[in-house]
Amino acid sequence: MNNVIDPLRPATPAEIDQLVNIYEQLLPESVQFVSILQNIVRIKTTLHGTALEQASHRFRKTIYIPNKANPIRFGTFLAIGMDEDIFVMVNTLEQPPSELEDAIRKTSYIKWHLKPMFVIGGDNGIRESLYKVVGEQVRNQ
């Protein structure tokens, strides 16, 4: 058994609410993050079984946050889909985005064999830095 602790963990509903509150303060620039976080929560709390399976892959995701004390501090999150969903949505307010870069490099939740596509929002510097990290990970697979 692998004893390495993953740098990410699933967010609780209360933590997702905290993320929504952080990103609501940054509207209108953060509207896509507020919307996706709210829709993921809504889908998970209202749909079950077959109905959940038929929901759009964009909303059948788990929100992951840093696995450490004060995980919401920088608003860092990854929304990773189920099954064969290749879209991974990520964002952070940390500059430089070292917390998110570390998580992308070390997490076991990203399905690299599916050649995931990342949806990265925010600041151009953050986006550029994260694309570089994602590119490194893809090349290492």
Q: What is the pLDDT of residue 1?
A: 45
Yes or no: domain 8-140 corresponds to CATH 2.170.130.10: no
**Which residue ranges make up each domain of the chain?**
8-140
Dump pLDDT digits (tens) for 63-85.
999 999 888 999 999 999 877 78
Any residues with CB less than 8 A from the CB of 15 and at least 6 apart, and which?
Answer: 63, 65, 71, 72
Tell me the pLDDT band of 127, cut-offs 50, 70 and 90: confident
* Distance of alpha carbon 120 from alpha carbon 53, whole angstroms: 25
Which tops the pLDDT comparison, 59 or 101? 101
Cα torsion angle, 8, 75, 62, 114, sign: negative
pTM of the entire predicted model = 0.86
Which tops the pLDDT comparison, 111 or 50? 111
Note the Cα 46 to chain centre separation in Å. Answer: 21
